[in-house]
Amino acid sequence: MKNLMTNWKTSLGGLLTAALGVAALLGIKVGDSSIDPTTALGMITGGLGLLFAKDGNVTGGTVRQ
């Protein structure tokens, strides 16, 4: 939960991806094509993954290097 909304680029990508997935799942047409429910659920899952992901400039672990 600590990483949520840390980097605006990652958070914006996650929010847009999840929002488009929810819109597609609810049947709201995005552009000229329709998206099947499996793809919409994948978009929601990917968006949530981006929201809770570590940022690109952060290394793993808690020990200072």
Note the pLDDT tens digit of each residue in 15-59: 999 999 999 888 887 677 778 889 999 999 999 998 888 766 666
| The CA-based dihedral angle spanning residues 48, 50, 52, 53, taken in that order and rounded to the nearest 10 degrees | 150
Helices and strands in the chain, H and E counts: 2, 0
Q: Which residue has the tokens 């952060």?
A: 58
pTM over 0.85: no
